[in-house]
Amino acid sequence: MPLTKQRRRLPTPEVSYRLAEEAAATLPIHEIGDTGLDSETAYELITSELLLDGQARLNLATFVTTYMPAVAARLMAETADKNMIDKDEYPLTAEIEARCVSIISEMWNSPEHEQATGTSTTGSSEAAMLGGMALKWRWRERMRAAGKPTDRPNMVMGANVQVCWEKFCRYWEVEPRLVPMEGERFHLEAPEAVAHCDENTIGVVAILGSTFDGSYEPVKEIAAALDKLEEDTGCYVPIHVDAASGGFVAPVLQPDLEWDFRLDRVQSINASGHKYGLVYPGVGWAIWRNEEALPRDLVFDVNYLGGHMPTFALNFSRPGSEVVAQYYMFTTLGREGYHRVMQGAQNVATHISSAIADMGPYRLISEGRDLPVFAFALKPEVENYSVFDVSDRLRQRGWLVPAYSFPENRQDLSVLRVVVRAGMTMEMADFLLDHLAEQTKFLESLDSPMPSQDEEKRTAFAH
């Protein structure tokens, strides 16, 4: 059974006079057709159906790249036939991957004397699985060496973690210790992180860029608190930083913020090349601070030009075009270009957030000063409508601004979230603000509450 629901057949739009007659009956929906359509017809019909998708650039819900320069898209199309795993056939693509690993580890301040080691992945989720496994393997080695049992591993993280960490824990049989939110603390902080650790903790995951509000977790403070724990109790707990979004933002916007390999306790970091790395989906990166941080028995050797190439991945085949596109973005933008793009996104984010704060009924949960991402809620006195109504009404104008409730302990808090990415201009921001002001005015004019929506829809959270 496919995991996606079977859909009703959509009415086929009339795409051209030539196609109008043949269109109605021919698109295969649930079964492959006996005969094929000619390629132009198939192209027309499929692209017409896809028009019913949302407009990617009006999607303020996603963190994932929705804009690349046209030449980058061309380069990706030209390299779509390269298989990343085929190091023998495509040694230059493999070389480009190694260059990217080196560029990224340098961005993350890998110390000169250490040899950072890493790989491209399909995204942060795969990178998280790899980072988590390395932590689990190393913990097991430490416990075995100490003659202690290895059957109860746990991992400490905030309740705001992205779902990939809960997946990691379930798939690899690690107890997830999710530190709940408390009051106005919406992410993991040092005292709570340490309080949840013990000798069975394989690691603490700190998030650079919480998906709930765009805030950075205080990695340096968490590291210092874990240093103290080790001094006091001898218990060593490493840190993995999930920098899915922040990995390409912090190095250019907050270069003095110490969250990366400058901190000894940070053993590995992941980021999504397809978020603020500025590449279309799916590419991610996993980097370890040195070879010791990545247990040898997790690494497989593949033949590579008669030699050997180490690989650590869950997937085998995947597109080489993603890695080539990442290298292209590094090459064409440089550090200065990444700074320009991120600063532009941040200016737009803070422009929107401050205008929203001035609108009246809203209060900001964050401003967009860490990631160019912020969340806002309705003030308690607003009773006739909810953030879910605001989200619905913005959708009528094409904007996708998700509304969702916070997790355990703060389920009473529902917010809207705006993710500003490359490609969102100040002009677009002003249109969004106009539309929001217009819809808010309507909602404010209601004499009685909006009919409530079904619960399932209200609590859905889109990462």
Ligand X SMILES: *Cc1c(COP(=O)(O)O)cnc(C)c1O
- CB-CB contact of 108 with 247 (8 Å): yes
Q: Any contact of residue 286 with ligand X (CB under 6 A)?
A: no
Q: Which stretch binds ligand X (CB under 6 A): 12-20, 31-39, 51-59, 122-130?
A: 122-130
Q: Any contact of residue 124 with ligand X (CB under 6 A)?
A: yes
d(CA 6, CA 1): 10
Q: Any contact of residue 207 with ligand X (CB under 6 A)?
A: yes
Residue from 123, 153, 218, 247 in contact with ligand X (CB under 6 A): 123
Backbone φ and ψ of 249, nearest 5°: -100, -55
| Contact positions with ligand X (CB under 6 A) in 138-177 | 162, 164
**Which residue's CB is nearer to ligand X, number 242 or number 370?**
242
Q: Any contact of residue 242 with ligand X (CB under 6 A)?
A: yes
d(CA 437, CA 390): 10
Q: Any contact of residue 322 with ligand X (CB under 6 A)?
A: no
**Which residue's CB is nearer to ligand X, number 90 or number 374?**
374
Nearest Cα neighbor of 168 from 210, 126, 198, 207 is: 126
Residue from 284, 319, 402, 407 in contact with ligand X (CB under 6 A): 284
d(CA 445, CA 448): 9
Contact flags string 64-103 toward ligand X, x per CB under 6 A: ----------------------------------------
In the chain, the amino acid numbered 60 is L
Q: Any contact of residue 244 with ligand X (CB under 6 A)?
A: yes
**Which residue's CB is nearer to ligand X, number 45 or number 161?**
161
d(CA 2, CA 30): 11
Q: Which stretch binds ligand X (CB under 6 A): 4-12, 197-205, 242-250, 426-434?
A: 242-250
DSSP character string of 51-112: TTSPPGGGB-S--S-----HHHHHHHHHTTT-BTT-TTT-HHHHHHHHHHHHHHHHHTT--T
Local structure of residue 428 (DSSP, 8 states): H
Q: Any contact of residue 214 with ligand X (CB under 6 A)?
A: no
Nearest Cα neighbor of 84 from 328, 317, 325, 309 is: 317
- The residue at minimum Cβ distance from ligand X is 123
- Shortest spacing between CB 463 and ligand X, in angstroms: 6
- Shortest spacing between CB 68 and ligand X, in angstroms: 16
Q: Any contact of residue 118 with ligand X (CB under 6 A)?
A: no
SS (H, E, C) 382-444: CCCCCHHHHHHHHHCCCCECCEEECCCCCCCCEEEEEECCCCCCHHHHHHHHHHHHHHHHHHH
Please state, as a whole number, how many other Cβ atoms lie within 10 Å of the Cβ of residue 142: 14
Binding residues for ligand X, rule CB under 6 A, total 15
Query: Mapping DSSP to helix (H, G, I), strand (E, B) and coil, where does residue 271 land?
Result: strand
Q: Any contact of residue 132 with ligand X (CB under 6 A)?
A: no
Q: Which stretch binds ligand X (CB under 6 A): 42-50, 123-131, 149-157, 432-440?
A: 123-131
- Shortest spacing between CB 62 and ligand X, in angstroms: 9
Residue from 44, 63, 253, 389 in contact with ligand X (CB under 6 A): 63
- Shortest spacing between CB 274 and ligand X, in angstroms: 6
d(CA 253, CA 308): 38
d(CA 340, CA 332): 12
**What tokens does 121 get?**
């992945």
Residue from 117, 267, 272, 386 in contact with ligand X (CB under 6 A): 272
Task: Using alpha carbons only, give the angle 262, 266, 272 rounded to the nearest 5 degrees.
Answer: 95
Local structure of residue 286 (DSSP, 8 states): E
**Which residue's CB is nearer to ligand X, number 393 or number 407?**
407
In the complex, which residues of this chain contact ligand X (CB under 6 A)?
A: 63, 123-125, 162, 164, 207, 209, 211, 242, 244-245, 272, 284, 463
